[in-house]
Amino acid sequence: MSRMKLVLVGNGMAGIRTLEELLKAAPEQYDITVFGDEPHPNYNRIMLSPVLAGEQTVEQIILNGRDWYAAHGITLHTGKRVVKIDRTRRVVEADDGDGGKIIAGYDRLLLATGSKPFILPVPGADLEGVVGFRDIADVERMIEASTSHRHAVVIGGGLLGLEAANGLKARGMEVSVVHIAPWLLERQLDEPAARLLQQSLEAKGLKFLLEKQTAEILPASLSPSPSPEGGGEQRVGALRFKDGTEVPADLVVMAVGIRPNTALAESAGLLCNRGLVVTDTLQSATDPRIYAVGECVSHRGVAYGLVAPLFEQAKVCANHLAEHGVARYQGSLTSTKLKVTGIDLFSAGDFMGGQDTESLVFSDAAAGTYKKLVIKDNKLVGACIYGDTIDGTWYFDLLREGTDISQFRKTILFGQHHLGDSGHGPAERVAALPDTAEICGCNGVCKGTIVAAIRDLKLFTLDEVKAHTKASASCGSCTGLVEAVLAHTVGGNYSAAPSKKPLCKCTEHSHDDVIAAIRDQELKSMDAVFQALEWSTPDGCATCRPAVNYYLLARWPAEYQDDAQSRFINERAHGNIQKDGSFSVVPRMWGGLTNPRELRAIADVAEKFKVPEVKVTGGQRIDLFGVKKEDLPAMWKDLSDAGFVSGHAYGKALRTVKTCVGSQWCRFGTQDSTGLGVKLEQLTWGSWMPHKFKLAVSGCPRNCAEATIKDFGVVCVESGYELHVGGNGGIKVRVTDLLCRVETEAQVMEYCGAYTQLYREEAHYLERTAPWVERVGLNHIKAKIVDDAAGRAALYERFKFGQQFAQIDPWKERAEGTAAHEFQPIRIVANPVPA
């Protein structure tokens, strides 16, 4: 069988990323040929600024060396420009640089021709010393100029222009930045933020000429008087503006924007409109054999210039080239978080605002901090931050998720106080941290290790950093910091996560997509889900299987058969695995109440099975540590005979209801908190949840049961009961929000069941109630639980229906022989065999 031929035109980041994704998905499918008009293999274009500034070398920014192409059998033509596509014969024709031609035939053609700097059409634009800022050749010209000339003028006060100016200044030139708009970075910043930026850049020695329009570029000998030579290889000498003023210039860098490079596509008759027009499958609208990715592309009218969207396109395009045919590119929401000469900026969305929006502004010019948040209909629609950008990713999440912010509108400007920062505190900027600062406390990863990995292994995304360094791979609380280190190190055009987060690497679909499909398409088995949603793996992975198993169980409690092999070991063995492979056992004690008979039974069990350690837990239960797995069923039988059921201390499930002594004994108690706790635990035990779920009932506002850091907390008062939701201790302590007040115990039970069911139906697997409440907003929960009596009753009914199937004690079942193979090893005494 002969392989199909794939030709890639454009040897840059988007095209090569597509090949990398393709080689992962279908390594044997194509004979691949790559044409690039630059003489270099694929390099990291984002890092041109550090090269210009002398912080890195060209060799350091090469992403794929020539050995990579060779190792994958890819034919590479560098320094060869493709000049013609013959779509009828399906061949491309390249200029070999010596007057000859290179011809390559294709079955599929991938165009990734990128973009070109826009050169102002003014007289003198073709003079020697007028350059763009786009590729290694431009940078080499600029560095060369810096060694022999003095005055540099950068036209354009955008991202690229400021980075060029910074680099040239670092190379010792006098640099002026000319900008047509009234303030710098007008596409990323509003005026007050831009003024702060300008001040700090001026302090570094840069000069700014704002609201200046370039009229003409003058050759050295024509300035001030006309030269007799004229034309040819004359060097630039000055710049003249429309208002008649002039500045000296030995080097002019044009950084006024980029244009999609579509000349080749247009000559081949492909539809172009400010970019090569592509479909959601990244095929040319004109010729489906031709794919295109990167800056040359126009998708739904948008051309992207940041890395993250291009990589999303690469992934989708590779999926189709590999003929899996399931992925769709639906556009990207981008944010800019960048580092210009040691200054942190972040902006996203509609940060200017308009007539129908409101703005919240925090400004401290002396400290160099400015924050502006734009709000519309109680949702964040734009953000512009200068100075302390640690909360940028949080704001971007709020913006992307469309979270209702009305509950924390008063404090939103001060940032996410409990943003994961491993205790470094938001004030401590990532840039200022020493290399030895520990970023990830779980896995002991310090900043220097992360930075080295990003540089040496050429990492771009949070997932890649996680895989290679393990930073933020465990509890995830340092994710914000790791992302900040990534943004700081990659600098330039780093942009945050993709618009939609897939559930795992087996699928393009998000948690919400899967939940909706299981509900709407009535999918009732794991295989049905994998088929309907076109999973890329035959039986999923350790991330998606437990999630899908939970979603099926939560939606179809009567019909779906729980899949033990899709459960994490703790839930499969109904005990907590410890670091030595032994297990711990926690019997349920309703509301934390016990009695001498129960305590005696636990003591007997502990002695009989030689339990090495017995401890009281934070949730008012007794924990037996160090139990061998094969002893578990026998131990459970004894506990079961004494009346105990599983405490589910090991599960994504209802854990405990913590109580104080309440009105029966306490002189302050207002209601029977212990009795209510027992009733709540009897209602909710055995229920599987997206994550662990804890309750508490306090008998008075002194709150001895710590009900305000629980997933659902009840605080008794004289007139009834306060219901609190969405709290937790742990990594990020979050105090609950007050849901409402009710008058009777029966109401507490109904509200509790309904709220629990809403969480079970809507939250993402492994999302605790605290982040869930923050994501959907308290108003959403109030609307469903407090305001809608019929909806609340229906949720409560669904919860109770599911409990019929959930409240079967797993310990008793296993003590009676269920899943015996799980607990019993096969023991073999082998006869000594001759070697």
Binding site for another protein (CB under 8 A): 467-468, 473-474, 537-542, 545-546, 564-569, 572-573, 577, 579, 581, 821-822, 825-830, 832-835
Q: DSSP letter string over 594-617?
A: --HHHHHHHHHHHHHTT-SEEEE-
- Relative to beta strand 108-111, strand 4-9 is parallel
Rounded to the nearest whole angstrom, what is the least distance from the CB of residue 833 to another protein in the complex?
5
Q: How far, in whole angstroms, is CA 51 from its chain's centroid?
A: 28
Which of 489/803 has CB closer to another protein? 489
CB 709 within 8 A of CB 628: no
Rounded to the nearest whole angstrom, what is the least distance from the CB of residue 63 to another protein in the complex?
17
Encoded amino acid at 415, one letter:
G
Which of 161/540 has CB closer to another protein? 540
Rounded to the nearest whole angstrom, what is the least distance from the CB of residue 825 to another protein in the complex?
4
Rounded to the nearest whole angstrom, what is the least distance from the CB of residue 834 to another protein in the complex?
8
Which of 544/748 has CB closer to another protein? 544
Q: Which residues of 681-701 are buried (b: 16+ CB within 10 A; e: fewer)?
A: bbbbbbbbbbbbbbbbbbbbe
Which of 545/691 has CB closer to another protein? 545
Encoded amino acid at 22, one letter:
L
Rounded to the nearest whole angstrom, what is the least distance from the CB of residue 464 to another protein in the complex?
9
CB 762 within 8 A of CB 544: no
Rounded to the nearest whole angstrom, what is the least distance from the CB of residue 551 to another protein in the complex?
16
Rounded to the nearest whole angstrom, what is the least distance from the CB of residue 577 to another protein in the complex?
6
Q: Output the CA torsion sign for 575, 580, 582, 585.
A: negative
**The pair of three-digit structure tokens given for residue 501, joined into one six-digit string:** 């987060």
Rounded to the nearest whole angstrom, what is the least distance from the CB of residue 576 to another protein in the complex?
11
Rounded to the nearest whole angstrom, what is the least distance from the CB of residue 829 to another protein in the complex?
5
CB 189 within 8 A of CB 348: no
- Relative to beta strand 654-659, strand 622-627 is unpaired
Rounded to the nearest whole angstrom, what is the least distance from the CB of residue 404 to another protein in the complex?
34
CB 278 within 8 A of CB 265: no
Q: What are phi and psi of 648, to 5 degrees?
A: 50, 35
Which of 122/541 has CB closer to another protein? 541
- Cα-Cα-Cα-Cα torsion 306, 311, 314, 318, nearest 10 degrees, comes to 180
CB 295 within 8 A of CB 311: no
Which of 365/457 has CB closer to another protein? 457
**The pair of three-digit structure tokens given for residue 70, joined into one six-digit string:** 């060779």
| N-term to C-term CA, the chain | 46
What is the C-alpha to C-alpha distance for residues 190 and 186, in angstroms, rounded to an integer?
Answer: 6
Closest CA to 343 of 165, 84, 478: 165
Which of 691/784 has CB closer to another protein? 691
Which of 546/713 has CB closer to another protein? 546
Please report where in the chains the tokens 């994961």 appear, as a residue. 420
Which of 214/576 has CB closer to another protein? 576
What is the C-alpha to C-alpha distance for residues 576 and 629, in angstroms, rounded to an integer?
Answer: 10
Rounded to the nearest whole angstrom, what is the least distance from the CB of residue 733 to another protein in the complex?
25
Which of 26/352 has CB closer to another protein? 26
Rounded to the nearest whole angstrom, what is the least distance from the CB of residue 344 to another protein in the complex?
30
Which of 418/572 has CB closer to another protein? 572
Q: DSSP letter string over 680-736?
A: HHHHHTT-B-SS-EEEEEESSTT-TT-GGGSSEEEEEETTEEEEEES-B-SSS-BPP
Which of 177/462 has CB closer to another protein? 462
Q: How far, in whole angstroms, is CA 733 from its chain's centroid?
A: 22
Which of 434/581 has CB closer to another protein? 581
Q: How far, in whole angstroms, is CA 626 from its chain's centroid?
A: 38
Residue 546 makes CB contacts below 8 A (sequence gap 6+) with 566, 567, 568, 765
Rounded to the nearest whole angstrom, what is the least distance from the CB of residue 543 to another protein in the complex?
9
**The pair of three-digit structure tokens given for residue 491, joined into one six-digit string:** 């600098």
Q: DSSP letter string over 192-245?
A: HHHHHHHHHHHHTT-EEEET--EEEEEEGGGSSS--SS-STTPBEEEEEETTS-
Which of 231/832 has CB closer to another protein? 832
Residue 715 makes CB contacts below 8 A (sequence gap 6+) with 698, 700, 701, 703, 707, 708, 721, 722, 724
Rounded to the nearest whole angstrom, what is the least distance from the CB of residue 339 to another protein in the complex?
26
**The pair of three-digit structure tokens given for residue 59, joined into one six-digit string:** 């060799």
CB 600 within 8 A of CB 778: no
Rounded to the nearest whole angstrom, what is the least distance from the CB of residue 185 to another protein in the complex?
37
Which of 239/585 has CB closer to another protein? 585
Rounded to the nearest whole angstrom, what is the least distance from the CB of residue 442 to another protein in the complex?
9
Which of 203/542 has CB closer to another protein? 542
Rounded to the nearest whole angstrom, what is the least distance from the CB of residue 830 to another protein in the complex?
5
CB 590 within 8 A of CB 572: no
Which of 403/549 has CB closer to another protein? 549
CB 344 within 8 A of CB 389: yes
What is the C-alpha to C-alpha distance for residues 476 and 436, in angstroms, rounded to an integer?
Answer: 20
Helix or strand holding residue 483 (H, E): helix 479-490
